[in-house]
Chains A and B, each alone.
Chain A
């Protein structure tokens, strides 16, 4: 994996996440019965992430950044497919736990990858550009989604995000990215 492919991959990841995030919240709200269930669902995500961070950090050192990023991208691609057919709150709790784990993977590995690619002297500039590229596409996507949402069902948004996550994974697959 070279740096360019990493940035491209994470751009797709951020775009997919930004598209579905607000609608995912609405989705949980509709399935859940009360605000306390909603809070619990949301909290499970954060709690799982927090508790798994150390373990995931160690895994990253052992298996390498690229492998962990692939796990994250494919994992999210699969998870996005499950959301539209979820109807019970326990299914949402399960999805939140898995998303917490995957989220922790992405959060850690993003940082370790950048740190391994970066010179200390130009760290700020590198990270600045990284954030630019991984923010601009989501921003455009969110605005576009706002216009398209009248024509799309909520389900199709999750399928779109799933495809984007898959592309993110393929971006990290070296035989496909010979250039």
Chain B
């Protein structure tokens, strides 16, 4: 009896070794914010410095390993990881390398978020030129998908990039700009991380400004001409966003627009300078929750949103504060369902007829649409994979769907039809989302896609 402890210890040591070994063999599954593509990858490596990144890439090239680059992983099509590959997590590669407020320039490591940059430049009265509505994304990721946002005066993100340094697949680091390796400048921006790892970026900044917000209702039929005559033609309007109803009573008819006008008295700007934090989360989260599961919920959300924004009419807000939209209330935790985005671009003049066709389609088909926001993008074909073939409206759709294969197929059927309608109106769709479109649709939307892939292959 007294010697039984020896047996127990031996059994324990054997079990320990065996089970620890099992533990180290567990597959590493990752997924992005779309939650539709859980994938087994080989390893995650957190980027710390340039030297080690270079060594990893050189080693990977020798051993034929696949590398993917990840920022905040808000792209939803598995862009940030590859089966059996090594995912390089750039989130901790986020230092500010150089900052020249007098010249309105900043040089940052690609893993930095817009939020961190805003915190740094806001006290000097500087702001970002072009970025998404929310500031939670990394600069490297934003460049890789060539983002756009509420700004309507500074063109595309590409225009605000002075240069960047790229770590290529063979381990070499090069400086890329409009004069040095210019062909890569237009491939990497909007290139989804396929041409190397963006190490650091030199960005042009702009002055922070004080705006006055105005929101009012508008009918979708009037939106295009309203935008051209009243918004774009008025240089005092610096930022703009619109929303179209997904509530049953006003489905794809009623809209409201929010304009950010340059306020006449800029001396008040400092008073409004402090960067805001997301404070009201519970109510929007609750209303969004209601709208997920019922039509009357959608109606309540639409009415409440409109009332809320109208109540803020005349409010003053700085540019930096506009560029830090709330996102926490949208967090959605559900095992069986997920919330994905789709974004479709349509030429400004096609807007009304496009909406009519979409409405007809969606009255037939079943899609749980929660929200549609509309932003403006100026024509910009600099990036090889560019979406703004003309001046376009960008519609961002928030869709609630199931995660099972059956549900994905169901959603795919509807979305492919929507994309066809979009393409028929000379439109396009945005690439960072779940790959619902067919290959034909890809090539129709991106005529230079073939050229893009051809440039990629020799690397």
Could you give, for residues 149-164 of chain A, a 1 whenever the CB lies within 8 Å of some chain B CB and a 0 otherwise?
0000001000100100
**B22 surroundings in chain A (CB, below 8 A):** 85
In the bound assembly, the distance between CA atoms of A6 and B23 in angstroms comes to: 33
Q: A85 with B23: in contact, given A77-B12, A78-B12 (CB under 8 Å)?
A: yes
Stretch at the interface among B1-9, B303-311, B318-326, B434-442: B1-9
Within 8 A of A (CB), among B293-337: 333-336
In the complex the two chains form, is A170's CB within 8 Å of B19's CB? no
Q: A169 with B8: in contact, given A85-B26, A87-B26, A174-B2 (CB under 8 Å)?
A: yes
Within 8 A of A (CB), among B1-56: 2-3, 5, 8-9, 12, 15-16, 19-20, 22-23, 26
Taking the closest CB of chain A, its distance from the CB of B21, in whole angstroms, is 10
In the bound assembly, the distance between CA atoms of A84 and B16 in angstroms comes to: 12
In the complex the two chains form, is A170's CB within 8 Å of B334's CB? no
In the complex the two chains form, is A78's CB within 8 Å of B15's CB? yes
Taking the closest CB of chain A, its distance from the CB of B47, in whole angstroms, is 17
Taking the closest CB of chain B, its distance from the CB of A149, in whole angstroms, is 16
Query: Interface residues of B, CB < 8 Å — how many?
Result: 17
Taking the closest CB of chain B, its distance from the CB of A120, in whole angstroms, is 33
In the bound assembly, the distance between CA atoms of A158 and B19 in angstroms comes to: 12
In the bound assembly, the distance between CA atoms of A176 and B3 in angstroms comes to: 10
Interface residues on A, range: 20 to 34
Q: A155 with B16: in contact, given A170-B5, A176-B5 (CB under 8 Å)?
A: no
In the complex the two chains form, is B334's CB within 8 Å of A166's CB? no
In the bound assembly, the distance between CA atoms of A78 and B8 in angstroms comes to: 11
Taking the closest CB of chain A, its distance from the CB of B258, in whole angstroms, is 36
In the complex the two chains form, is B8's CB within 8 Å of A155's CB? no
25 contacts between A and B (CB under 8 A): A34-B334, A34-B335, A77-B12, A78-B15, A81-B15, A81-B16, A81-B20, A82-B19, A84-B19, A84-B23, A85-B19, A85-B22, A85-B23, A87-B26, A166-B9, A166-B12, A169-B5, A169-B8, A170-B5, A170-B9, A173-B5, A174-B2, A175-B3, A175-B5, A176-B5
Q: Which residues of A contact B (CB under 8 A)?
A: 33-34, 74, 77-78, 81-82, 84-85, 87, 155, 159, 162, 166, 169-170, 173-176
9 cross-chain pairs, A with B, having the tightest CB-CB distances, nearest first: A33-B335, A173-B5, A81-B19, A84-B23, A85-B22, A175-B2, A85-B23, A155-B23, A34-B335
**18 extra interchain contacts, Cβ-Cβ under 8 A, other than A34-B333, A159-B20, A176-B5?**
A34-B334, A34-B335, A74-B8, A77-B12, A78-B15, A82-B19, A85-B22, A85-B23, A87-B26, A155-B23, A166-B12, A169-B5, A169-B8, A170-B5, A173-B5, A174-B2, A175-B2, A175-B5
